[in-house]
Structure formats: C-alpha cells, structure tokens
Structure 1
Amino acid sequence: MLKTLKDLFDSLMPPGAGAGPANDEHLLQLATAVMLVEVMRADASFHAGEREAVLAALRDKFGLADDEAARLAELAEVTAKASTDLFSFTSRIKERFEMPQRLRMIEHMWRVAYADGHLNEHERHVLWRVADLLHVPQGAYVNARLRAQAEAEGAKP
C-alpha cells in the first residue's frame, strides 16, 4: 500500500525530482492536505463548501494555484482513504511547522468542519485527535474553533 502511494506521489512530481527539500515540501503539503480531507470525510454527507474550504486552505497555506490545490486535494483524498493512522502525517507536520503554523492549520480544519453549516461529532473527534497529536494547547484549539465558527456564522445569509 505504501509503495502504491509513493508511486502515485512520484507520478505527480516533475521528472528528476528526488529526495531533498522540494520533496520534503511536497510531503509536508500532502500531510497537511490529508488532515484537511480527513475532516471533510468525517461526516457521511458531502458538501461542496467543504471541498472549497479544503482548496482555500491549501491555497492560503502554501500559496498554490487553483489547479495545484485541486491536484493536491485529489492526491490527499486517495492517500486518506488508504491510510490507517493520522500519526504518520501529524508527525511530519509537527516536525516542520512551528506552533503558529499548526494553529493556522487547525483553524483551517475548523473552517472545513463548519463549511456545511453544522459540526458533527466525527468532525469534532478528528479535530481533537489531530490537535492532540500536534500538541496544540487546549486554549488555542478552542480559540481557533471559535474564530472559525464566528466566520461561518457571519457567512450565513
């Protein structure tokens, strides 16, 4: 399974790109995208707003163009479906992101969770688990949630 994921990831990389800083950055982007997609996949119903929130987060976090964000999100969905744990992704994120970057990612995840207008227990659990694995302080986690919730409520017609 891991070889298949690696082959898929390698197929999206430019020829001649191997191990190194560029590959590390791509793996970090993939790990982040998988966490965002996990929130989107947490509830049984699919809402287009959730997908757009994932794409917006990827564009904001990594400065990606629309097509790059879409390709990364597609790869993240395949990877998320095939993965059995969150730790392999969160460990990479924790290693590379400082706390402010982690908090920003958690806030993006909350935006994905609220994008369909409601928060369910599965989404809440995924967010709690990811925040715990990233060692995000409880107060910062709650504040990120409140900011995303206020933003979602302000966007309602």
Structure 2
Amino acid sequence: MAFKWLTRLIPQASEGEENSNALSRAIAVLMLEVAQSDFEETEEETSTLLAGLAEHIGENSQPLEDLLASARDDKANSAGLYEFTRLACTEMGLAERCALIEQLWNIAYADGVIDKYEEAAIRKVSELLYVPHSDFIKAKLAAASALNKTP
C-alpha cells in the first residue's frame, strides 16, 4: 500500500521538475532572441543574459552554460517563439512576465545600443506574453534608468 502511494508521488515530482526545466529553457530562448536579434551577440549581452537567467531560475541543478547551450539548440530547431511564450504565459504570473520583459530590455541595453531589431523582438515577445503596453514601457524605462541610459 505504501509502495503504491510512493510510486504515485515520484512521477509527479519528476513531472514538476520537467516543467521547471522546460520553463527555464523557454526563458533562455526568449532572452537569446533579443541578444541575437541585431545579428551580433556581444559578450556584454551574453553576460547580462546569464545573470538574468540566474535571477529568473534561481538555484537550479542545471548549470547556466548547459541551459544556454540547450536553449540555443531549441531556438535553432523552432519555427517561432509561440511555443516558448505559450509556456511562459501559462506558468508565469503577470508580474513575473513584466520582470522578464525588463530583463530583456537589460540585455538589449547591455551593449550600449538599442537596435531597432532588438526593440521589435522585445515588443513581439511582450505581445505574445500578453504584457500590457504600459508595462512594456515601464520595463523599458526601468531598465534604462538602472543602467543610466536614455530610452
């Protein structure tokens, strides 16, 4: 009896861990989209991306470099961003999605230049995550003021 109860718990725990890893990879793919949208991923953008990943996923068993490599593969093999934004939208609350948009702005500001393609990528992700436009602008201004940049 106790064994059956235990076996029912184990798959649920691994399923929850699997969802957490999938969400972490989805967030990493969205961050990569912004970092690579201007066709030049700089070292500053990559380090900001890794710092943002560490902030969003917290203590995770998967090393950040492995997560980033996995996200690069996922991005290369995907047809678009919908599968990643859908997962993020269902697993994250509005406040978390707004924080993610702010982190995307931090990545865009990392190299000191906001390219029109970076802004377009963030806008697209923001719309797919159902983040209100006012929160999109607030995130942009917060990221700019944190880095002493003008939007």
TM norm structure 2: 0.85
Question: What is the aligned partner in structure 2 of residue 3 from structure 1?
Answer: none
Larger radius of gyration: 2
Distance 1:142 1:130 in 2: 13
Question: What is the aligned partner in structure 1 of residue 30 from structure 2?
Answer: 35
1:138 aligns with 2:146: no
Which of 25, 50, 55 is 2:20 aligned to? 25
1:100-139 to structure 2, matched below 5 A, reads 100-139=95-134
The residue type equivalent to 2:39 in the other structure is: A
Question: What is the aligned partner in structure 1 of residue 77 from structure 2?
Answer: 82
- Contact 1:110 1:148 (8 Å CA) reproduced: yes
Kindly provide the CA deviation profile for residues 7-58 of structure 1, in whole angstroms up to 9, marking residues without a partner as x. Answer: xxxxxxxxx9x96101011001110110001101101222101001110011
Kindly provide the CA deviation profile for residues 83-104 of structure 1, in whole angstroms up to 9, marking residues without a partner as x. Answer: 1111100000000000000011
Question: What is the aligned partner in structure 2 of residue 9 from structure 1?
Answer: none
1:92 aligns with 2:91: no
Question: What is the aligned partner in structure 2 of residue 8 from structure 1?
Answer: none
Question: What is the aligned partner in structure 2 of residue 13 from structure 1?
Answer: none
Which of 132, 144, 151 is 2:146 aligned to? 151
TM norm structure 1: 0.82
Count of residue correspondences: 139
Unpaired runs of 5+ residues, structure 1, are: 1-15
Question: What is the aligned partner in structure 2 of residue 5 from structure 1?
Answer: none
Distance 1:83 1:116 in 2: 26
1:44 aligns with 2:44: no
* Aligned partner of residue 117 in structure 1, secondary structure: coil
Distance 1:115 1:45 in 2: 12
* Aligned partner of residue 40 in structure 2, secondary structure: coil
1:3-18 to structure 2, matched below 5 A, reads none
Distance 1:19 1:63 in 2: 18
Spell out structure 1 runs of 4+ moving beyond 3 A: none
Post-superposition offset of 1:64: 3.7
Post-superposition offset of 1:153: 2.6
* Aligned partner of residue 148 in structure 2, secondary structure: helix
Distance 1:64 1:55 in 2: 13
Unpaired runs of 5+ residues, structure 2, are: 1-10
Post-superposition offset of 1:113: 0.6
The residue type equivalent to 2:122 in the other structure is: L
Between the aligned residues of both structures, percent identity stands at 26
